[in-house]
Amino acid sequence: MVAGYKNRYILELLNIYAYFCRLNDMKPAYYIKNPAIASEEALLRLLAELEEGGIPAHRVANRTELSALQPDMLLAVGGDGTFLSAAELVADSGIPVLGVNLGRLGFLSENTPSDAARAVLEGRWVVEDRPVLSIDCPAVPRNIWPFAFNEMTLHRNGAAMLGVDVCVDGNRLPTYWADGLLVATSSGSTAYSLSVGGPIVMPQARVLIISPIAPHNLNVRPIIVPDSSEITLSVQSRDPSAVLTMDNRRVELSPGTAISVKVAQFSLKRVRLEKSDFIHALTGKLFWGEDMRNGSESQ
């Protein structure tokens, strides 16, 4: 019994030693989209806490600097727009992204600076694989990243409504007559898709959401398809162009242009703090189920 206790004690010491070795080797970086927040007290305090803990974070502004530094983690400091830009920055590098909220809603960037610093220093975080959309369209210039973390959309670019033709794995759906249409990942179900009446989907669900934007006929609804599907789209319009968006990037295209959408061969590595979860984010950020009859149950 004494020998067993001694062995467990030695094993625990080895685990503690291994943790501090990993901590000492860790090399984080941080990214801010808005230069105006570079001097904000919350950001400076976050950086100071990390440096005092022995793992200073270095700022990166573009993919070249990120590639040169090769950090173990990228802190996207700002709001959800900053997180989406950071997703483009890491691309298929496999570098995990931790969202730190200095913005307004902060659903993707849900963590406060103090919580983020403490979790990084204590190693209390996990990495989730989140799917990314790959968009194949001849209208997208080579200098624009043709992927999306939340959603891709087609929008009208004038007064005329769009007719959006959709095929799922070669099976044609009825034409959507609407202001536009979006294809969202499960991660994007709480973004634009939610605002146009799409369902809330747990992030680990392997599905894609097809939702019309302000449809002009009442008998069309969002549809969920497996994320193994290949979705092809084209637009009918009396206007000379329509708009294609991929998260926070925008290009114009001509009616009739073919677009192929499917899940990319790489995923985004999103850092989640151990204490956070999707349902808590829904209730805390989006006030899901807020009802005076629920009392403390909604807290």
Q: Annotated active-site positions, please?
A: 80
Whole-number Å distance between alpha carbons of 263 and 147: 9
Cβ pair 175, 164 in contact under 8 A: yes
Tokens of 68: 């040169």
What residues pair up with 234 in beta bridges, in sequence order? Answer: 165
Tokens of 186: 């499960």
Whole-number Å distance between alpha carbons of 263 and 151: 11
Q: SS3 helix, strand, coil % of the chain, rounded to 5?
A: 30, 35, 35
Report which of 66, 76, 126 is spatially closest to residue 97, judged by C-alpha positions.
76
What residues pair up with 129 in beta bridges, in sequence order? Answer: 269
Q: Which residue has the tokens 């730190």?
A: 100
Distance from CA of residue 199 to its chain's centroid?
17
Cβ pair 149, 163 in contact under 8 A: no
